Chain A
Amino acid sequence: MKNVNELKAIHEKMKDFIALRTPEGKAEPGYRHVLVCGGTGCHSSGCDAILKALRASITAHGLDEKTTVIVSGCHGLCALGPLIIVYPDAVFYELVEVDDIEEIVTSHLMNDEPVLRKVYHEAIIDGKMVPYRETDFFKYQHKISLRNCGVIDPECIEEYIGRDGYMALAKSLTEMKPADVIEELKASGLRGRGGGGFSTGMKWSFAAAVESDKKYVCCNADEGDPGAFMDRSILEGDPHAVIEAMAIAGYAIGADEGYVYVRAEYPIAVNRFEIALNEARQHGLLGADIFGTGFNFDIHVRLGAGAFVCGEETALLASIEGKRGEPRPRPPFPAVKGLFGQPTVLNNVETFATIPQIILHGAAWYGTMGTEKSKGTKVFALGGKIKNVGLVEVPMGATLRDVVEKVGGGIPNGKTFKAAQTGGPSGGCIPASLIDTPIDFDNLLAIGSMMGSGGMIIMDEDSCMIDIAKYFLDFTVEESCGKCSPCRIGTMRMLEILERITNGQGVPSDIEELVDLGNHIKATALCGLGNTAPNPILSTIRYFRHEYEEHINDKKCAAGVCKALLEFVINDKCKGCTLCKRKCPTDAITGEVKELHVIHQEKCVKCGICYDICKFAAIDKV
């Protein structure tokens, strides 16, 4: 693109077309956009077949002129996929099956009568349908990083431009000096979304201040935190936002080359991102002399190879250089000495996706959202024992209660909320007593957890906190790169203690030993992953010490998870069907037909098969 006017021309051409999908959207009667979610969640639940059937049906009924079918990125409600959304009426269909397509096309698209039985169940109130945006899951959200996800076709750059795409790059290159861009970011208060929460503007200013012929901009898309998938969704649903922001970063610090380091486990994201890179190059939004300003910038993609530690910045850079992904001591920080020894800015996907909006609307606008020290919004991946499993974006300062009860829809099956785990293997558990804590970077640290990348796993009364702590520690032990001994050996020793406790061999001194070891690892490990590895244990000891004591002293697991501490016994609901007796692998169950059966504890290996298969709820875990 030689100048900004070319960009504006595309924007002018596309903006009303895209606006049809917003609340202000208008369309000729009968004209519709039908969006099929093509995110990884919906892909796994079979959206390809849905798409094929939908296209065939639309053509068969002669609706091609009146209907545009779009494959979009993730809408957030992954548990209800495959999803279809019809605009401008904003009708949201859930759990769509191929057999439903014909009815949706003939009834809704041809006769304006939405198929109520497939409409998102929360959008049906007293038998009447409301636009999906008015349901709890959507109405409490505020989307900045995710603003285009599920709205545009990520494989069409013109749709992105129709949503003001690349306007922030144009504004930066033609109306702002590099220092102005950095000042705007500093003023906005944006903090890195990858976990650390460091000021993005400060980071950029350090790299800008170093004199060097060669600098790099890197994007951390090595989203290894189990349970977090916002970076993947952004790359899949709005890849151009990341490309645009990386180019802005290049301009601000004086770099002409960028790398995106993305997990190889995300094939759809990698594919969409590469398509987006090619489109950007074809439109002259990457490459030489962008907008005729003399600014050059291009981006390479590098795939990870399954090492959690590569999410740590120095390890990530080592991996791009073709080495084992091991962290190194800092300073020097990457802003001074990073990729191939050159000054490097490294930000996370969600951070980058926020930046074009800040440049376009200004720091003051961004500052109206969030808390004093944590501005803007944060994306959370809600998972575990919660109704609305999926991706949500809320303003910083929203309480855990808002997220769990309003957006998340509460706990399923009539169970009660026990704790939320944030920050993955680096974070901790927040107990129900702190459910009204406003979520921001500093509050989470103060209560012994951390923001991390935004994974949020909800647990109910059936979750054992020691089992959860063990799960995360097991993860850390496996993923420890082995370079420093506190992390390599220390976490292993902690895991051994936890295994002892869950096997019923814990001793009273174990709790203090865990705390002591944990604090030493925090103080002495080389990198951020080791420093934070004890958090899941320390935070569960802090809030659920009684569960540890119960495991150690009473040899009981109240949640019924730690099998070594359980006894399976048969109650008087037993009908004597003999199913459990036949299935028991160790012949530990005896009893005649139509008589009460008995489990012999000395033979029982606590595999739980009897408990799972009993049709009469006649087996108790005590």
Chain B
Amino acid sequence: MKKKMTTVPFQGTAEQEKQLHALIAEHCGTPGAIMPILQKAQAIYGYLPIEVQQIISDGTGISMSEIYGIVSFYSQFVLNPKGEYAVSVCMGTACYVKGAGAILDRLAAIIKVDPGEVGDDGKFSLDATRCIGACGLAPVFLVNEDVYGRVEKPEAVDGMMKKYME
């Protein structure tokens, strides 16, 4: 999926930047360290906006084009922040043959966010993810850490989402 640049303004704190600098210092010199640095930077900020990539580029001496090339290549690196409630629907084969596509459509309609995006109010984001390995519970979707499995019919998600909608 083509990655869209975020429209949400960058709101990094000084504390986060301090952590990031410490992280870069810790990994500098390890061969192939850019991947772990980006992974941990994303853990600090929740996503990898251009501003964060710039700090990493300055700190490691790796060019911005190379860093952006890596960030845009791997699906786990995200350019958009996640919502307060990150909703993700497993699209692994087992879930797919048991109707995950219809569940994704239903969720998109309820929270009014398209897959891969975050709503303007920042409350919900929606993603179609690769197999999360809970094939025995197919079809499965997650809201942050909460797992909803064996979703028999698309309408069943209405009730499950209720507590997040208020």
Chain A contact residues, CB within 8 Å of chain B: 40-41, 44-45, 77-81, 224, 226-227, 229, 232, 264-266, 302-308, 319-326, 340, 381, 383-385, 389-390, 421, 424, 455, 457, 459, 463, 468, 471, 478, 481, 608-609, 612-613
Contact = CB atoms under 8 A, between A and B. Distances in A.
Interface stretch (B11-19, B118-126, B136-144): B136-144
B85 interface: no
A227 B131 contact: yes
Contact of B75 (A307, A389, A463, A613): A307
A385 B97 contact: yes
A75 B147 CA distance: 21
Contacts of B39: 264, 303, 305
Given A383-B94, A389-B94, A478-B1, A302 B35 contact: yes
Contacts of B112: none
A302 B32 contact: yes
Given A322-B34, A340-B31, A390-B136, 19 more contacts: A40-B133, A41-B133, A45-B149, A226-B94, A227-B92, A227-B135, A229-B135, A232-B133, A264-B39, A264-B76, A302-B36, A304-B74, A305-B74, A307-B74, A384-B98, A389-B136, A389-B138, A457-B93, A457-B94
A205 B91 CA distance: 40
A81 B102 CA distance: 25
B93 A421 contact: yes
Residue of B98, B135, B137, B153 with highest tally of chain A CB at under 10 A = B135
B32 A320 contact: yes
Contact of A389 (B32, B76, B92, B135): B135
Contacts of A340: 31
Nearest to B147: A44
Given A41-B136, A266-B133, A455-B93, A322 B33 contact: yes
Nearest to A307: B74
B73 interface: yes
Contact of B130 (A40, A226, A384, A421): A226
21 contacts: A41-B134, A45-B149, A227-B92, A227-B135, A229-B135, A265-B76, A305-B35, A305-B39, A305-B76, A305-B77, A307-B75, A320-B35, A326-B73, A384-B97, A389-B135, A389-B136, A455-B93, A457-B94, A471-B93, A612-B153, A612-B154
A78 B97 contact: no
B94 A384 contact: yes
Contacts of B91: 226
A219 to B, nearest CB: 16
Contacts of B61: none
Interface of B: 1, 31-36, 38-39, 69-70, 73-77, 91-94, 96-98, 102, 129-138, 140, 147, 149, 153-155
A224 B94 CA distance: 14
Given A44-B137, A79-B137, A302-B32, A265 B93 contact: no
B94 A227 contact: yes
A180 B130 CA distance: 42
A41 to B, nearest CB: 5
A572 B36 CA distance: 62
Contacts of B140: 44
Given A305-B74, A305-B75, A321-B32, A265 B92 contact: no
Contacts of A459: 97
Nearest to B140: A44
B153 A265 contact: no
Contacts, number: 130
A377 B93 CA distance: 24
Given A305-B74, A305-B76, A306-B75, A40 B93 contact: no
Contacts of A40: 132-134
Contacts of A227: 92-94, 131, 135
A385 B98 CA distance: 8
Contacts of B129: 265
Given A307-B75, A383-B94, A471-B96, A81 B33 contact: no
B97 A424 contact: no
Contact of B73 (A80, A324, A389, A612): A324
Contacts of B138: 383, 389
Contacts of A383: 93-94, 135, 138
A306 B74 contact: yes
A266 B76 CA distance: 13
Contacts of B135: 41, 78, 227, 229, 381, 383, 389
Contacts of A41: 133-137
A384 B96 CA distance: 9
Contacts of B34: 322
A264 B70 CA distance: 16
B1 to A, nearest CB: 6
Given A384-B93, A608-B102, A612-B154, A306 B136 contact: no
Contacts of A384: 93-94, 97-98
Nearest to A232: B133
B67 to A, nearest CB: 10
Contacts of B38: 305
Contacts of B74: 304-307, 325
A471 to B, nearest CB: 6
A224 B133 contact: no
Contacts of B136: 41, 45, 77-81, 389-390
The 7 closest A-B pairs by CB, nearest first: A78-B136, A305-B74, A306-B76, A383-B94, A322-B32, A227-B93, A306-B75
Contacts of B36: 302-303
Contacts of B153: 612
Contact of B133 (A79, A229, A613): A229
A224 B155 CA distance: 30
A384 B38 CA distance: 36
B1, B33, B69, B137: residue with the most chain A Cβ atoms closer than 10 Å: B137
Contacts of B92: 226-227
Nearest to A305: B74
Contacts of A303: 35-36, 39
Nearest to A472: B93
A457 B131 CA distance: 13
B80 to A, nearest CB: 15
A302 B40 CA distance: 12
Contacts of A463: 97
Nearest to B102: A608
Contacts of A321: 31-32
